[in-house]
Amino acid sequence: MATASTNSSYLLRTPFNIPSEWGNRWAVAFGSDDSSIMIAALSVIVGLSTVLLWNLISFVGKYWSVKRKLTLATIWNSNDAWSAFKGEHTHPEPPSDDREKSAAKTRTESTAEDGTGTRSKGDFWYGLFFCVSAFAVFAGGIAIGIVAPSLILIGAVAPVKTSLVYYPRPPEQEVAAEVIQEFGLRAPGAMRSLGHVDAVMDILRSQVLIQVDTSHQAIGEDRVVSLKYIYYISGLEMGLRHGDRLCLRVEGFCITEYGWRNETEDADDVMDLYDMWGNPDQQNRVLLNENEIFHAPSATFIIRDDPENVGTSTSNMTYAVLVHSAHRSSITSGGDPW
């Protein structure tokens, strides 16, 4: 039974580097309770940052060299970006006396500026700029407050305290208690490893490019199918802590083969015999007795004999997949025997 590790087993609140496909990433590990507090604190910091950003923008607007009374008054009377946006977007009309004074002043300014309207255009762009800025600060503060906490979460990972890492002493095989004790120490780690492998299987499958070709000529009633596959293995996946820049490209090709079956008659019909790669010296059997066919279909991977070490020198390894499916019940329903 796999037991969960306690927080005391890991090095918390200490910076460390996580190896990844894109290089080392700086990180700090926290416990489950501390992480909730950190996320809440980050949201508060983001909220305060948006307030300070708006104060900076309003400071620039208040001390602009050109006086735009309406925009400046709106900024001055707004405590936050949302109030400023609403004030800039839907500002009330001035009283009648102010409109008359403003109209008289506008006629005077228009006469002085030869009717070019440059000042009016400047006032429009000035107000539009601060209106858009206020909305951007308000909406951006809300969006960052929601998204930022999720961006800083890398996952359930933390460095192990070196003082707690140990390797059990090999047991005395004659002492049953020591053998059982060692098995109990190793079992949780093995179960966790199997769980991690099962969790990443879907991710690894998505990284393999497979091309299927069914256009080959059939051999009697047996169809021939070929597969071409390509995938990449990084140094991190190989277990190299500082090998994130290393990448191995793997290409392979498979095709169904029906010529390896040894046609020697088996009087009891308890097995199928195969000469792997047509070599009688490398034979494999698929048992057909009642004890074997009771189990679910399976497969055996066989590496080809390489006395001249061709695979070692070229890194091109040849293997075969021997399918154990005859007389066995399928795991799932379907008409494809493979």
Alpha carbon 213 to its chain centroid, in Å, reads: 31
Interatomic CA distance for residues 182 and 176, integer angstroms: 10
Residue 188 within a domain: yes
User: Are 200 and 213 contained in the same domain?
Assistant: no
Task: Give the number of domains in the chain.
Answer: 3
Helix (H, G, I), strand (E, B) or coil at 39: helix
Residue 336 within a domain: no
Interatomic CA distance for residues 300 and 276, integer angstroms: 12
User: Are 215 and 194 contained in the same domain?
Assistant: no
Residue 37 within a domain: yes
pLDDT in tens, 252-305: 999 999 889 887 766 677 888 899 998 888 888 888 888 888 888 888 999 888
User: Are 191 and 287 contained in the same domain?
Assistant: no
User: Are 260 and 249 contained in the same domain?
Assistant: yes
pTM score over 0.75: no
User: Are 299 and 244 contained in the same domain?
Assistant: yes
- Predicted local confidence at residue 255, as pLDDT: 93
Residue type, 36: S
Assess whether pLDDT exceeds 90 at residue 230: yes
Instruction: Pick 25 or 241 by higher pLDDT.
Output: 25
User: Are 92 and 186 contained in the same domain?
Assistant: no
User: Are 213 and 187 contained in the same domain?
Assistant: no
Instruction: Pick 27 or 100 by higher pLDDT.
Output: 27
User: Are 181 and 287 contained in the same domain?
Assistant: no
Residue 201 within a domain: yes
Residue 161 within a domain: no
pLDDT in tens, 66-98: 445 555 555 555 655 555 555 554 444 444 555
User: Are 148 and 61 contained in the same domain?
Assistant: yes
Percentage of the chain exceeding pLDDT 70: 68
Instruction: Pick 131 or 185 by higher pLDDT.
Output: 185
Residue 178 within a domain: yes
Residue 194 within a domain: yes
User: Are 218 and 319 contained in the same domain?
Assistant: yes
Q: What is the mean pLDDT of residues 238-246?
A: 70
Range of the domain at 79: 32-152
User: Are 199 and 227 contained in the same domain?
Assistant: no
- Predicted local confidence at residue 62, as pLDDT: 60
Residue type, 85: F
Assess whether pLDDT exceeds 80 at residue 250: yes
CA dist 304 → 39, 257, 269, 278, 333 (Å): 55, 15, 27, 11, 33
pLDDT in tens, 28-62: 888 777 877 887 888 788 777 777 777 677 666 66
User: Are 191 and 95 contained in the same domain?
Assistant: no
Of the pLDDT bands very low, low, confident and very high (cuts 50, 70, 90), residue 111 is very low
